[in-house]
Amino acid sequence: MPCADWSYQRACPGVAVVGPFEGSPQSRSFPFPVPTPPGPWRPSRKGCASGSRDSPTSFRMTLDVGPEDELPDWAAAKEFYQKYDPKDIIGRGVSSVVRRCVHRATGHEFAVKIMEVTAERLSPEQLEEVREATRRETHILRQVAGHPHIITLIDSYESSSFMFLVFDLMRKGELFDYLTEKVALSEKETRSIMRSLLEAVSFLHANNIVHRDLKPENILLDDNMQIRLSDFGFSCHLEPGEKLRELCGTPGYLAPEILKCSMDETHPGYGKEVDLWACGVILFTLLAGSPPFWHRRQILMLRMIMEGQYQFSSPEWDDRSNTVKDLISKLLQVDPEERLTAEQALQHPFFERCEGSQPWNLTPRQRFRVAVWTVLAAGRVALSTHRVRPLTKSALLRDPYALRPVRRLIDNCAFRLYGHWVKKELCGTPGYLAPEILKCSMDETHPGYGKEVDLWACGVILFTLLAGSPPFWHRRQILMLRMIMEGQYQFSSPEWDDRSNTVKDLISKLLQVDPEERLTGEQALQHPFFERCEGSQPWNLTPRQRFRVAVWTVLAAGRVALSTHRVRPLTKSALLRDPYALRPVRRLIDNCAFRLYGHWVKKGEQQNRAALFQHQPPGPLLSIGPEEVKDSATITEDEAAMVLG
In this structure, what CATH number is given to the domain that contains residue 477? 1.10.510.10
pLDDT tens column, 230-251: 888 889 999 988 999 988 888 8
Q: Is there a contact between 149 and 192 (Cβ–Cβ < 8 Å)? A: no
Q: Choosing from 213, 222, 319, 497, which is the catalytic residue?
A: 213
My answer on whether 497 and 452 are in the same domain is yes
My answer on whether 158 and 86 are in the same domain is yes
Question: Is residue 613 over pLDDT 70?
Answer: no
| Selected residue with higher pLDDT from 160 and 148 | 148
* Section 294-306 average pLDDT: 85
d(CA 248, CA 619) in angstroms, rounded, equals 15
Q: What share of the chain in percent tops pLDDT 90?
A: 30
What is the per-residue burial (b if ≥16 Cβ within 10 Å, else e) of 185-214?
Answer: bebeebbbbbbbbbbbbbbbbeeebbbbbb
Q: Is residue 478 part of a domain?
A: yes
SS3 535: coil
Q: Which residue, among 166, 180, 202, 145, has the nearest Cα to 42 in the 3D structure?
A: 180
| Selected residue with higher pLDDT from 113 and 94 | 113
Q: Is residue 96 part of a domain?
A: yes
Is residue 566 very low, low, confident or very high in pLDDT (cuts 50, 70, 90)?
low
- φ and ψ at residue 166, rounded to 5 degrees: -105, 125
My answer on whether 247 and 160 are in the same domain is no
Question: Is residue 307 over pLDDT 50?
Answer: yes
497 among known catalytic residues: no
Question: Of the ranges 42-56, 78-92, 558-572, which one carries the lowest mean pLDDT score?
Answer: 42-56
Q: Which residue, among 45, 320, 46, has the nearest Cα to 191 in the 3D structure?
A: 320
My answer on whether 244 and 294 are in the same domain is yes
d(CA 249, CA 260) in angstroms, rounded, equals 14
Which residues fall within 8 angstroms of residue 92, CB to CB, at 6 or more apart?
Answer: 6, 9, 47, 63, 69, 98
pLDDT of residue 402: 67
Domain end: 143, 168, 193, which one?
Answer: 168
How is 274-328 classified by DSSP, letter by letter?
HHHHHHHHHHHHHHHSS-SS--SSHHHHHHHHHHT-----TTTTTTS-HHHHHHH
Question: Of the ranges 129-138, 233-242, 528-537, which one carries the lowest mean pLDDT score?
Answer: 528-537
**CATH number of the domain that 100 lies in?**
3.30.200.20
Is residue 99 very low, low, confident or very high in pLDDT (cuts 50, 70, 90)?
confident
Q: Give the containing element (helix H, strand E) for 635.
A: helix 629-644
My answer on whether 323 and 266 are in the same domain is yes
Question: Is residue 69 over pLDDT 80?
Answer: no
Question: Is residue 606 over pLDDT 70?
Answer: no
My answer on whether 120 and 235 are in the same domain is no
Q: Of how many residues is the chain composed?
A: 645
Question: Is residue 604 over pLDDT 90?
Answer: no
d(CA 544, CA 303) in angstroms, rounded, equals 59
* Section 417-432 average pLDDT: 58
pTM (predicted TM-score): 0.52
d(CA 242, CA 63) in angstroms, rounded, equals 45
Domain end: 152, 168, 184, which one?
Answer: 168
* Section 522-534 average pLDDT: 81
pLDDT of residue 162: 84
Separate counts of helices (H) and strands (E) for the chain: 21, 9
Q: Give the containing element (helix H, strand E) for 124.
A: helix 124-143
Most confident segment among 74-78, 241-245, 274-278, 489-493: 274-278
pLDDT tens column, 339-394: 999 999 999 999 985 434 445 677 888 888 888 888 888 888 777 666 656 677 77
Question: Of the ranges 107-121, 429-443, 595-609, which one carries the lowest mean pLDDT score?
Answer: 595-609
Q: Classify the C-alpha dihedral 494-499-500-505 as positive or negative.
A: negative
pLDDT of residue 593: 67
pLDDT of residue 401: 65
Strand duo 153-158 + 162-168: pairing: antiparallel
Question: Is residue 102 over pLDDT 90?
Answer: yes
Give me the number of domains the chain comprises: 3
My answer on whether 131 and 212 are in the same domain is no
My answer on whether 138 and 181 are in the same domain is no
pLDDT tens column, 197-241: 999 999 999 999 999 999 998 899 988 889 999 888 889 999 988
| Residue 602 counted as an annotated binding residue | no
d(CA 113, CA 167) in angstroms, rounded, equals 8
My answer on whether 483 and 505 are in the same domain is yes
d(CA 334, CA 402) in angstroms, rounded, equals 33
d(CA 397, CA 225) in angstroms, rounded, equals 39
Q: Is residue 138 part of a domain?
A: yes
pLDDT tens column, 483-524: 898 898 988 767 788 888 999 999 999 999 999 999 999 999
pLDDT of residue 4: 33
Q: How far is CA 78 from CA 83, 158, 212, in A?
A: 9, 11, 36
pLDDT of residue 538: 62
pLDDT of residue 543: 87
Q: Is residue 548 part of a domain?
A: no
Q: Is there a contact between 431 and 425 (Cβ–Cβ < 8 Å)? A: no
Q: Give the containing element (helix H, strand E) for 550.
A: helix 543-563
pLDDT of residue 59: 34
Average pLDDT, rounded, for the chain: 75
Q: Is residue 426 part of a domain?
A: no
Q: Is 239 left (phi over 0), alpha (psi -120 to 50) or beta?
A: beta
End-to-end CA, the chain: 31
Q: What is residue 146's DSSP assignment?
A: T
Question: Is residue 13 over pLDDT 60?
Answer: no
Question: Is residue 274 over pLDDT 90?
Answer: yes
Q: Which residue, among 168, 96, 153, 100, has the nearest Cα to 130 in the 3D structure?
A: 96
Q: Is 148 left (phi over 0), alpha (psi -120 to 50) or beta?
A: alpha
My answer on whether 273 and 186 are in the same domain is yes
pLDDT of residue 257: 94
Question: Is residue 188 over pLDDT 50?
Answer: yes
Is residue 51 very low, low, confident or very high in pLDDT (cuts 50, 70, 90)?
very low
Q: Is residue 35 part of a domain?
A: no
Is residue 49 very low, low, confident or very high in pLDDT (cuts 50, 70, 90)?
very low
Q: Is residue 493 part of a domain?
A: yes
Distance of CA 111 to the CA centre of its chain: 26
My answer on whether 93 and 162 are in the same domain is yes
d(CA 597, CA 212) in angstroms, rounded, equals 19
Q: Is residue 59 part of a domain?
A: no
Which residues pair with residue 174 across a beta bridge? Answer: 220
Question: Of the ranges 52-56, 85-89, 411-415, which one carries the lowest mean pLDDT score?
Answer: 52-56
| Selected residue with higher pLDDT from 342 and 420 | 342
Domain span at residue 163 reads 73-168
Q: What string of H, E and C letters represents the secondary structure of 378-447?
A: HHHHHHHCCCCCCCCHHHHHHCHHHCHHHHHHHHHHHHHHHCCCCCCCCCCCHHHCCHHHHHHHHCCCCC
My answer on whether 159 and 187 are in the same domain is no
Strand duo 162-168 + 209-210: pairing: unpaired
Domain end: 464, 498, 526, which one?
Answer: 526
